[in-house]
Amino acid sequence: MNLKFYVISCSADAILHNIRHLYIHWGEFGGHWLAESKKEAEHRLYSCQQKHKCEICDAEIHQAEIVRKKKMKRNY
């Protein structure tokens, strides 16, 4: 089973854009599930830009995929 999702990353908390300090956006109001579509990720990014109004927004949307090899108890 392949699980596909989209992740938004930005260096809002980074010092000198150090890759080890990239902040991964889970959602605007705390812990949310990762976005399942690019459109949903773009909407979350737009909401973040409206809320924080960063001078320079270096956020990026990344597509990720996890390949599960074991059968899960709940296969939909």
Mean pLDDT by 10 residues, the chain (76 residues): 86 62 59 84 89 85 89 69
Sheet with 2-10: strands ordered across: 23-25, 2-10, 60-67
CA 53-6-38 angle, to 5 degrees, is 75
pLDDT of residue 39: 95
Q: Is the pTM value of this prediction over 0.85?
A: no
Q: How far apart are CA 55 and CA 30, in angstroms?
A: 23
Under 8 Å between Cβ of 24 and 56: no
Tell me if 7 sits within 8 A of 64, measured CB to CB: yes
